[in-house]
Amino acid sequence: MTTKLLTIIEKDGKAAKDKDPNLSDAELRRVYRTMVQTRIMDERALTLQRQGAIGFYLQALGQEASHIGSALPMQDSDWFFPAYRQPGIMLLRGADLDDIVNEWFGNDGDTSKGRQMPVHYSLRSINFVSISSPIGTQLSQAAGAAMAAKIRGDDTVFMTYCGDGGTSSNDFHAGLNFAAVYQAPCVFIVENNQWAISVPSTNQTKSESMAAKAQAYGMPGVRVDGNDILAVYRVCKEAVDRARKGGGPTLVETVTYRMGSHSSSDDADRYRDAKEHESWKQRDPIERFRKYLEKKGIWNEEFQSEIEESFKQDLNDAIKRAKARPKPAAATLFDDVYLQPTQQLIEQRDELLGLEGPESDEIGEFPL
Q: What is the pLDDT of residues 263-306, one digit of tens each?
A: 999 999 999 999 999 999 999 999 999 999 999 999 999 999 99
Q: What is the pLDDT of residues 52-111, one digit of tens each?
A: 999 999 999 999 999 999 999 999 999 999 999 999 999 999 999 999 999 999 999 999
Give yes or no for residue 262 having a pLDDT over 60. Answer: yes
Q: Of 133-142, 222-231, 263-272, 334-343, which gets the smallest average pLDDT?
A: 334-343
Q: What is the pLDDT of residues 3-55, one digit of tens each?
A: 689 999 999 999 999 999 999 999 999 999 999 999 999 999 999 999 999 99
CATH architecture of the domain covering 2-324: 3-Layer(aba) Sandwich (3.40)
- Which pLDDT belongs to residue 363? 44
- Which pLDDT belongs to residue 2? 52
Question: 277 catalytic, yes or no?
Answer: no
Residue 364 region by backbone torsions, left for phi larger than 0, else alpha for psi between -120 and 50, else beta: left
Report DSSP letters for 48-75, one per residue. Answer: HHHTTSSS-----TT-HHHHHHHHTT--
The percentage of residues in the chain with a pLDDT greater than 90, rounded to a whole number, is 90
Confidence tier at 132 by pLDDT (50, 70, 90): confident
Give yes or no for residue 368 having a pLDDT over 90. Answer: no
Give yes or no for residue 364 having a pLDDT over 60. Answer: no
- Which pLDDT belongs to residue 4? 86
Average pLDDT over residues 239-259: 98
8-state DSSP, 85: S
Kindly name the residue from 234, 258, 290, 349 that is annotated as catalytic. Answer: 258
Sheet containing 250-255: order of strands:
2-6, 221-225, 250-255, 186-192, 158-163, 79-81
- Which pLDDT belongs to residue 355? 82
Kindly name the residue from 33, 262, 283, 290 that is annotated as catalytic. Answer: 262
Q: What is the pLDDT of residues 72-83, one digit of tens each?
A: 999 999 999 999
Question: 271 catalytic, yes or no?
Answer: yes
Buried b (16+ CB within 10 A) or exposed e, 256-292: bbbbbbbbbeeebeeebeeeebeebeebbbbebbbbb
3-state secondary structure of 166: helix
Question: 262 catalytic, yes or no?
Answer: yes
Give yes or no for residue 350 having a pLDDT over 70. Answer: yes
The percentage of residues in the chain with a pLDDT greater than 70, rounded to a whole number, is 96
Kindly name the residue from 115, 173, 271, 325 that is annotated as catalytic. Answer: 271
Report DSSP letters for 279-290, one per residue. Answer: HHHTT-HHHHHH
- Which pLDDT belongs to residue 255? 98
- Which pLDDT belongs to residue 357? 60
Average pLDDT over residues 342-359: 83
